Amino acid sequence: MKNLRRVFIGLGVILAVGYFAIVISLHREPATFPPLPIPNGYDDFTNAVPLVTADVGDAYAMDLQALQSFVRSNAAALKLVRTGLSRECLLPTEAIILNFTNVLMDSLPGPRRLAQLLNGEGRLAELEGRTNDAARSYIHCIRLGNEVSRGGVLINRMVGMACEAIGCSALARIAPKISREQSVAVVAELMAMETNAMTWNEVITNEKAFMRHARQDSFNPIRPFVDWWQSRAVLKGTKNKHDISAAKRRLIAVELALRIYQIERGQPPTQLSDLVPRYLPRIPIDPFAEKELIYRPQGTNWLLYSVGEDGMDDGGTPATGRNLGAKGDVLFNAP
């Protein structure tokens, strides 16, 4: 009985120490943020949004003439987007945290409109038989999603992931039609993006700074714990989507590298390491397993996948459902 009581007392002490550690960490001195680059690509994206003449919506529901007119009328916006992609980009983190409603809320729909614009441009290129140009539009859509996340809080990353999903889905769909030369360029761009992609730690650091600022005027020792408890599911769900986005980018890069290898050598490699360094600078890591993506040659074809949210190798069976920890694997062309 005494031993049991000691266990409970020990657990109570551990919980109390942990709780006050959370309170202290959430109320420490405000974080400092790097200065905004000059020029800043984010300014170009912001300036491009009001130039978009209409909402493209579902580009696949538009006919050739409608898409031609839409892309032509939005040439200035597209030019600004690409100018922004050529520059260092950083959201005004401190301004977002200090004045969330005025600085951020009105601008949230903008990046998605730009992603839809790039998607419409890519769809037009497809209809006109310019597959390589379509690939260029879709890779820029993926990059846009990453750049509009940089320096932002959780909701910015959600918007960025939505943009990336538009580009990844379209790029995966046309992958078999992309030329060898353009595939090389796409692989290089995707792999370069991986070296500078927005990390989950950056997102969480900014989100915690935002939460600390939001509660600083009415300190309540219970509130940090309540906020943490209530936000667990949202954070975990967003983290999983962040990792799915990373997995799909990496899967597309490796898939295209495998296709290039097969074009040049007449058969797929026996293992992914055969792609390095000629076709890939390195083998991308599965964000759900912290080891290489799974690759299984199958005659003249292959199976390539990430283990997905459940962390289990399901033999390449695509994940189904949108619940946390969904069973199944992530494939490059899975919805």
Q: The tokens 């859509």 sit on which residue?
A: 141
Q: The tokens 């769909």 sit on which residue?
A: 173
Q: What is the pLDDT of residue 17?
A: 47
Please give the single-letter amino acid code of residue 215: R
**Helix ranges restricted to H, the chain:** 2-26, 41-48, 64-73, 75-85, 93-98, 100-103, 109-127, 131-147, 154-174, 180-194, 200-215, 223-265
Q: What is the pLDDT of residue 266?
A: 96
Question: Cα(290)–Cα(214) distance, rounded to whole angstroms?
Answer: 34
Beta strand pairing call for 294-298 and 301-305: antiparallel
Q: What is the pLDDT of residue 26?
A: 46
Question: Cα(290)–Cα(276) distance, rounded to whole angstroms?
Answer: 19
Q: What angle do CA 278, 282, 284 make, to 5 degrees?
A: 130
Local structure of 75: helix, strand or coil: helix
Q: What is the pLDDT of residue 308?
A: 95
CB-based contacts of 328, cutoff 8 Å, min separation 6: 308, 310, 314, 317, 318, 319, 320
To the nearest 10°, report the CA torsion of 180, 184, 189, 190.
80
**pTM across the whole model:** 0.86
Tell me if 233 sits within 8 A of 324, measured CB to CB: yes
CB-based contacts of 245, cutoff 8 Å, min separation 6: 145, 161, 164, 165, 168
Whether domain 235-334 has CATH 3.30.700: yes
Residue-by-residue pLDDT tens, the chain, 335 positions: 555 555 445 555 454 445 545 544 545 555 678 899 999 999 999 999 999 997 777 788 889 999 999 999 999 999 999 999 999 999 998 888 887 766 666 678 899 999 999 999 999 999 999 999 999 999 999 999 999 999 999 999 999 999 999 999 999 999 999 999 999 999 999 999 999 999 999 999 999 888 887 666 555 555 555 555 556 688 899 999 999 999 999 999 999 999 999 999 999 999 999 999 999 999 999 999 999 999 999 999 999 999 999 999 999 999 886 666 678 999 998 77
- Domain map of the chain by residue range? 36-217, 235-334
Tell me if 71 sits within 8 A of 120, measured CB to CB: yes
Tell me if 118 sits within 8 A of 167, measured CB to CB: yes
Phi and psi at residue 34, to the nearest 5°: -65, 155
CA distances from 196 to 48, 72, 150, 254 (A): 23, 32, 10, 18
In the 8-state DSSP scheme, what is residue 218? Answer: S
Number of other residues whose CB lies within 10 A of the CB of residue 313: 14
Question: Cα(272)–Cα(287) distance, rounded to whole angstroms?
Answer: 17
Tell me if 160 sits within 8 A of 152, measured CB to CB: yes
Question: Cα(45)–Cα(110) distance, rounded to whole angstroms?
Answer: 8
Local structure of 32: helix, strand or coil: coil
CA distances from 8 to 13, 19, 59 (A): 9, 16, 61
Q: What tokens were used for 259?
A: 């296709």
Q: What is the pLDDT of residue 222?
A: 52
Please give the single-letter amino acid code of residue 138: Y
